[in-house]
Amino acid sequence: MAKISVLGGGTWAIALAVLLSHNGHDVMVWSALPAEIESLKKDHRHRMLPDTILPEDLTFTTDDREAVTGRDLLVMAVASSFTRSTAKRLAPYIADGQRIVDVAKGIEEGTLKTLSEQIRDEIPAADIAVLSGPTHAEEVIKGLPTTIVVAASRQETAEYIQNIFMSEVFRVYTGSDILGVELGGALKNVVALAAGMADGMGYGDNAKAALITRGIAEISRLGLAMGCKAETFYGLTGIGDLIVTCASMHSRNRRAGILMGQGKSMEEAMAEVQQTVEGVYSAKAGLALARKYQVSMPIIEQINLVLFEGKNAKEAVKELMLRDRKAEVSDTEWN
């Protein structure tokens, strides 16, 4: 049995806390929001997951020192926009070599750093890994079969976290391509906004398939330019995560995109979804990375125009369809 603290009180944090508790671990949930912790203590349910009663042995705290001290593993599950500030806040209590696994997805707009890089900035002595894949909290908390990847720079760390999370319904693979895993996880949310917009405008399966396949082409082009492994983008944290996020109504990014495709503003869509829409926060960073590494990412570019410059979604789709003619594969050879 390991002592684990899940840092964050959102749906993904709670789903993982339940999973880890069922795996037999001592699990504590921490949040910076007293009202959130009080609600979890009192109701033993999460407001966005009302059908699940939380295990009685889960404990809850808002105390920073209590959440961190003596814990074998810290699961960083706060929204991506709070990753750096949370790491900085908890850094004084974290021991050298303490294991931290980040389970959120995003890229910091100002620095263009992934979440693990932000944590490393604030807690350089920690042993940091990432856990990512095609996973919806609504299914994981019900014990539905799920597969995921843990990536770390040390094999020992990856295998330790694999063993902590692994169960008969939660299969965990290991890998070393931390950056590739994080890029896939962050940028698929932006493509999912586009897929949602297409749904909201009444476009069909053909458009969805095009967005998924061309979306992974864009993400993998950027990843390769940044030194990631091509196989990462063909796997669970690449095409796998992209498919589930573009196709499922559990996806907050797709749901927000649908509302925008129906004519609502970004702000109106985010308010109606009532959860963090990570793709909005990663869109500008994705475009900045594309320009930095001189990689063509037309879907990411058009989504930025719709989100931040008031471009009509239908015009964005039209522009994507009428781009210059080109071959699908860059090194096509003709007989």
As annotated, the active-site residues are: 188
| Nearest to 161, CA basis, from 199, 203, 132, 195 | 132
E strands in the chain: 3-7, 26-30, 59-61, 73-76, 99-102, 127-132, 146-152, 170-175
* Cα 70 from Cα 190, distance rounded (Å): 38
Q: Which two tokens stand for residue 331?
A: 């090194």
* Cα 290 from Cα 270, distance rounded (Å): 25
| Nearest to 254, CA basis, from 191, 205, 321 | 191
* Cα 29 from Cα 75, distance rounded (Å): 9
Partners of 5 in beta bridges: 28, 74
- Biggest alpha carbon–alpha carbon distance for the chain: 71
* Cα 9 from Cα 30, distance rounded (Å): 7
| Nearest to 209, CA basis, from 224, 223, 198, 193 | 198
* DSSP assignment string, 203-266: --HHHHHHHHHHHHHHHHHHHHHTT--HHHHHSIIIIIHHHHHHH-TT-HHHHHHHHHHTT--H
Q: Which two tokens stand for residue 130?
A: 């990432």
